[in-house]
A and B are shown apart, each in its own frame.
Chain A
């Protein structure tokens, strides 16, 4: 039996969708913003007396909490109209970019943060790559509505 979005309790009230969207966008902004602070540090642009690894450690839980809310609210939004999302190529791009960004953030970028010297070319490049990945997610999210 195919899934009927109208049976989803999240679709029962008209305010639920925009409220979830605001939560989703606010926490996404907060998460990539916190990641950007560490990236600016890798560029030597801010907090030059704080090692990047320390800064990353201090902001780690905040970023993780933010991304968790992003993912949970995103999944709730998805269940409200899954067919529309699934068949939208911008949404698929967004999902791939999000997956790559999360893997890169936790599996690759964190290694550069902990092992590379701040200001080194590789650390700077990694900061740019990560920022570009998060911005790609934002672009995917916006282009979704224009397809």
Chain B
């Protein structure tokens, strides 16, 4: 099944149709998505600042990570759920949006980041055993890359609304990756974030 047919099929699932067609539900879900990024993103920020050795340095990385972990997961799951509802309801305009693709790719990279640094940083057995707070070079690297990845997610998320898809290319080449940014020239009249 071509990708744009799949996107159309997803968009017409009853749940996504209901979200899209409600004047109130869609902005409420979008606001909840943003609030989750804020409230729970802060927990990620604190973790990253600790990894960089900038806050809570009296406490071990392991304890900061383990205390915030369940809340970060709860926030992440809520944020992802809202994100799926938003993306599914407008799948036909998201699937070939390069900023959406970059956002999802960056989220996947965050998963890879966790796998790479899990043993050496997030669950550093030596630090847990010694109970000695420290911020090694690799912990700082993990913090800096995590921060950069999350900022990219937020930036790409915002930029999704500014992608101007060439409609003719949409009909003939669903995987068109051309990026056209037409923002300030139009934002005075018709900015409507999706």
Binding site for B on A (CB under 8 A): 5, 11-18, 21-22, 25-26, 28-37, 40, 45-47, 49-50, 55, 58-59, 62, 80-81, 84, 131, 134-135, 138-139, 141-143, 145-146
- B182 contacts A14, C-beta separation under 8 Å: yes
A139 to B155, CA, bound (A): 19
The 6 closest A-B pairs by CB, nearest first: A33-B42, A14-B184, A29-B38, A142-B31, A139-B31, A32-B38
A15 to B31, CA, bound (A): 24
Instruction: Indicate whether B122 reaches chain A with its CB closer than 8 angstroms.
Output: no
Instruction: Indicate whether B3 reaches chain A with its CB closer than 8 angstroms.
Output: no
A4 to B5, CA, bound (A): 45
- A135 contacts B39, C-beta separation under 8 Å: yes
Least Cβ distance of B158 to chain A in Å? 5
**Which listed residue, B26, B41, B42, B55, touches A58 by the CB 8 Å rule?**
B55
User: Given that A15-B181, A26-B151 are contacting pairs, would A34 and B71 also be in contact in the complex, using a CB cutoff of 8 Å?
Assistant: no
- B184 contacts A37, C-beta separation under 8 Å: no
- A47 contacts B27, C-beta separation under 8 Å: no
A11 to B154, CA, bound (A): 23
- A18 contacts B162, C-beta separation under 8 Å: yes
User: Given that A17-B187, A33-B43 are contacting pairs, would A139 and B35 also be in contact in the complex, using a CB cutoff of 8 Å?
Assistant: yes
- A17 contacts B184, C-beta separation under 8 Å: yes
Flag B171-194 by CB within 8 Å of A: 1 or 0 each.
Answer: 000000000011111011001110
Binding site for A on B (CB under 8 A): 23, 26-28, 30-31, 34-35, 37-46, 49, 55-56, 59, 64, 67-68, 71, 151, 154-155, 158-159, 162, 181-185, 187-188, 191-193
- B42 contacts A30, C-beta separation under 8 Å: yes
- A47 contacts B42, C-beta separation under 8 Å: no
A145 to B26, CA, bound (A): 12
Nearest residue, chain A, Cβ from B49? A62
- B38 contacts A15, C-beta separation under 8 Å: no
With a cutoff of 8 Å between Cβ atoms, the chain A residues found around residue B59 in the complex are 47, 49-50
- A16 contacts B184, C-beta separation under 8 Å: yes
A59 to B57, CA, bound (A): 12
User: Given that A58-B55, A138-B34, A145-B192 are contacting pairs, would A81 and B187 also be in contact in the complex, using a CB cutoff of 8 Å?
Assistant: yes
- A138 contacts B42, C-beta separation under 8 Å: no
13 A-B Cβ contacts within 8 A? A12-B184, A15-B183, A17-B183, A17-B184, A18-B162, A33-B39, A33-B43, A36-B38, A46-B71, A59-B55, A62-B55, A134-B39, A142-B193
- A30 contacts B41, C-beta separation under 8 Å: yes
**Which listed residue, B35, B40, B42, B67, touches A35 by the CB 8 Å rule?**
B42
With a cutoff of 8 Å between Cβ atoms, the chain B residues found around residue A49 in the complex are 59
- A143 contacts B41, C-beta separation under 8 Å: no
Nearest residue, chain B, Cβ from A11? B184
**Which listed residue, A11, A12, A15, A32, touches B39 by the CB 8 Å rule?**
A32
**Which listed residue, B39, B55, B182, touches A36 by the CB 8 Å rule?**
B39
